[in-house]
Structure 1
């Protein structure tokens, strides 16, 4: 069984705080099972976006896995906003977390699958 979304997010925000990286909840979703999207604003006009990995990824039943939402490493803020708006029309229970880090660190560790 996977950790509830709200608990995972609280731990993630603490991790960002420990690294000295600002992080905020931009949109609050379902406490138990809302999908989570992580926006990494590099403060230069580019944003990396990570979302839930597709079902069937090994270990995905018990741990959260992540994929980059764009084929390129980063996108513009407008592209990310449009993508998230489409996702929120599909799933009204999603969470959006935004962090600001010039280095582009996402703190998702090896759970991030970058294609």
Structure 2
């Protein structure tokens, strides 16, 4: 059984805070099964956007785990606002979580697929 998106996002926020970082839910989507996008801001100004990984990335041994893929990384995050607005128009049930991971790499907070 897969946990609800609401519970998963709450756990992510707690993991970020316990790692010495900061997290905020920018847009709250569907409680049960909304797609999650994570905007990661580094302390030096770099910004990266992570979104749901394609279905081909999922392993039948761990069907309930959420996987992410890096969608883009830049020194200026203003272009991500337009991308997230397009995603909201396509699917109004998305979640957007903004994090500053602190001393822990984002890859330790999210299951990021590099394929």
Band of TM-score, shorter chain: 0.7 to 0.9
The DSSP-based 3-state class of the residue aligned with 2:16 is: helix
**Does structure 1 retain, via aligned residues, the 8 Å contact 2:24–2:99?**
yes
**Does structure 2 retain, via aligned residues, the 8 Å contact 1:2–1:64?**
no
Taking the aligned partners of 1:104 and 1:47, their CA distance within structure 2 comes to: 15
Taking the aligned partners of 1:29 and 1:45, their CA distance within structure 2 comes to: 27
Match among 53, 62, 71 for residue 69 of structure 1 = 71
The DSSP-based 3-state class of the residue aligned with 1:113 is: coil
Aligned residues: 110
Question: Residue 81 of structure 1 aligns with which residue?
Answer: 81
Per the TM alignment, residue 12 of structure 1 is displaced from its structure 2 partner at its CA by 0.7
Unaligned runs of at least 5 residues, structure 2: none
Counterpart mapping for 1:11-50 below 5 A? 11-50=11-50
The DSSP-based 3-state class of the residue aligned with 1:17 is: helix
Q: Which stretch of structure 1 is more off in the superposition, 41-50 or 6-15?
A: 41-50
TM-score, L = length of structure 1? 0.85
How has the CA–CA distance of structure 1 residues 104 and 79 changed in structure 2, closer, same or farther, with 3 Å as cutoff?
farther
Unaligned runs of at least 5 residues, structure 1: none
